Structure 1
Amino acid sequence: MEQSNKVYSFILYIFLAVCSIIAIGPFYLMVIMSTYDTNALFTDLHLLPGNNFMINIKDVFLNAGFGKFYFNSIYIAVLTTVLTVLVCAMCGYALAKFNFKLKKTAYYAILITMMLPTQLGLIAFVTEMNTIGWTDSHLSLIVPAAANAFAVYWIRQYTVQGVPTEIIESGRMDGCTEGGIFFKLVVPFIKPALGSQALLSFMASWNSYLLPLVLISDQKKYTVTLGLSTLDALYRANYGARIAALVIGTIPMFIIFLIFSKSLIQGITAGSVKG
């Protein structure tokens, strides 16, 4: 029995190793390719880094203005993440621990919106942004993102399962304000949920392409995703520079994942155990 378990574990580890290589392989090749010029890329398959990376990066940032796109995406993603986590945390907490009229209706409405694709209401959304004068403005990418139905649902579920009502009642008995109860008593219990939502919100904002495409027309306000599309025309024959821009565009994602990956795992495992 013990021998069969060892064989099973060995096969499982081999399978996981192969899957990891398949998943990491394309990104590794992309990083390697970003260190060569176009001529070298078409002469041979390179598995070790070259010495042309900084030249490619300098070319992209100085000649193509990629630094502006990079800055736009960073501050849009950061503001979107902070606003989404703050607003959705308070909404989720209210749905979990407060009693008010139409509470179930609001909850079911949130569940329904989770089933609707973004493209379904795109025309109405663009019309609304145009009416309030937010087209060609980063506000149209930041403020509406705070209405994240999945984030509200996720934090609401986590609050129901992970925050004892007795803690909230004791805070009220001690004279703590509702804001103080939320920030001082509730938030420490739901930090894993907030961390996981921060990661997901940042990823969604950073990778967003459709909304910036239809809302932003001024090239100075482009995000990284739109900026990468402009490189196709500017560097049609310079594949080294284009691939280097792709590599630089993924760095913030890795940094944010390293920061919030622990919270994401804790949030998922806690939800599965308590659920």
Structure 2
Amino acid sequence: MVLLDSYIPLIIPAIATPALVFFIKGYTDGAISGSLIEAARIDGCNEFKIFNKIVLPLIFPSVATMSIFTFIQTWNNFLIPLILLFDPKKFTLPIMVMLARGTYKTEYGAVFAGVAISNVPIMIAFIFLSKKIVGGLTVGGVKG
């Protein structure tokens, strides 16, 4: 089967989880007022332009927040890659950290190095996306 021993089944399910959809829907209901959409329609904007120019910049903090959460959850996922990946060259870092533990003796240097290396991409993603979250909080719309 093409999905076994590939990264596709690790990435695709994380794109639209139910928690992500409900969080962004709730944030959108609170951040976007109907009068703002009506004003854009009166000004002659079509639906595509309303979404891209008005709605998306206002809900970007929620998208950035959920991107951080989804990235961390996917990056630290252990069970699904353990089941679906067979080639040791394709193992994720959590699996490699688990394999660094020996059966009878644990090499703590290798384990701690793996944990430190696996935290670097999470910190980089958080640093870049947290600026977008804080910057998006100052973007205002219409008073509700």
Query: Which TM-score applies when normalising by structure 1?
Result: 0.44
Matched, 1:196 2:65: yes
Structure 2 partner of 1:229: 98
Q: Return closer, same or farther for 1:219/1:179 CA change in 2, 3 Å cut-off.
A: farther
Paired with 2:50 and 2:102, the residues of 1 have a C-alpha distance of 54
Paired with 1:256 and 1:228, the residues of 2 have a C-alpha distance of 21
Question: Identical aligned pairs, as a percentage?
Answer: 34
Q: Return closer, same or farther for 1:240/1:162 CA change in 2, 3 Å cut-off.
A: same
Query: Which TM-score applies when normalising by structure 2?
Result: 0.79
Give how far 1:152 is off.
0.6
- Match of 2:57, SS state, is coil
Q: How does 1:34-53 map to 2 (within 5 A)?
A: none
Paired with 1:163 and 1:237, the residues of 2 have a C-alpha distance of 53
Letter of the 1:216 partner, please give it: L
Per chain length, whose mean CA-contact separation is higher, i.e. which structure has more relative contact order (CA < 8 Å, sep 6+)?
2
Q: How does 1:144-223 map to 2 (within 5 A)?
A: 144-223=13-92
Of 93, 109, 121 in structure 2, the residue corresponding to residue 252 of structure 1 is 121
Number of residues of Structure 1 aligned to a counterpart in Structure 2? 135
The alignment yields a C-alpha RMSD, in angstroms, of 2.4
Paired with 2:72 and 2:56, the residues of 1 have a C-alpha distance of 22
Q: Return closer, same or farther for 1:220/1:177 CA change in 2, 3 Å cut-off.
A: farther
Give how far 1:213 is off.
0.8
Structure 2 partner of 1:118: none
Q: Unpaired runs of 5+ in structure 2? A: 138-143
Q: Is contact 2:5–2:87 with CA below 8 Å preserved after alignment?
A: yes
- Match of 1:155, SS state, is helix
Q: Is contact 2:100–2:107 with CA below 8 Å preserved after alignment?
A: no
Give how far 1:180 is off.
2.2
Paired with 1:210 and 1:178, the residues of 2 have a C-alpha distance of 41
